[in-house]
Amino acid sequence: MVVIILKQIENRHPKIRRKLLAPFIININPNKVTFIALVCAFLSGYFFYTDYLVLAAIFLALNGFLDVLDGEIAKKGKPTKRGDFLDHSFDRISDTAIFVGLAYNPVMPTELTLMTLICVLLVSYLGTQAQALTDKRMYGGVMGRAERGIILFAAAITTYLFMEVLVYSLYLIVILSVITFLQRFYSLYRDLKD
């Protein structure tokens, strides 16, 4: 619900995002920011694995923030195909690092975590497949990267109060990712006319 509200605010008031990020936009190669975001994802995955969930959540949030920031920095300069390639490739590596860390956490159900990763990668695949076929990246659906990050962040923080919340968050991500996959699949199939 919170994610939907945030999306509606961003869609209605796109200047808010730019104003919030403005103090952080510096003259730096956005690919360096993308790389730092990747390092944060690996640290998040490591801390999920070692069960330091607050640290995992902090580095997960940093990964998400830097992932948004690198795009804004790129827009201020001249976005490149190489930068876009690195950004999307590192996003998939980041997702994998985070969920593999969760999968190897001794208290997490490995099969569920790996199934979640597969669903996440399939949703992302349709986004890039749309770009390959239509020249437009597809971000639609109820469960994107930002929503996953918010759910995992909240679950990691609240796990100390409710032990099962992290497991339930994975079920939620799987369900919403399957819905998103179907939404994107149908939308892309409909848009492709032979």
Distance CA 92, CA 6 (A): 23
Rg (CA), the chain: 17
Residue 64 is part of which domain span?
2-191
Q: What is the mean pLDDT of the chain?
A: 87
- On whether the CB atoms of residues 30 and 73 are closer than 8 A, the answer is yes
**How confident is the model at residue 71, as a pLDDT?**
82
Angle of helix 165-191 versus helix 110-134 axis, rounded to 10: 20
The total number of structural domains that make up the chain: 1
pLDDT in tens, 13-69: 566 666 666 666 767 788 899 999 999 999 999 999 999 999 999 999 999 989 988
Query: Which of 91, 95, 135, 191 is an active site residue?
Result: 91
* E-state strands within 17-157: none
- Reported as a single tens digit per residue, the pLDDT across 116-153 is 999 999 999 998 898 888 888 888 788 988 899 999 99
State pLDDT tens for residues 74-84. 878 788 889 88
Which CATH number covers residue 92?
1.20.120.1760
Q: Could you say which DSSP state residue 168 is in?
A: H
Compute the Cα dihedral for 29, 31, 37, 38 and give only its sign.
Answer: negative
The pTM for the full model equals: 0.88
191 is catalytic: no
- pLDDT category, 5, cuts 50, 70, 90? very low
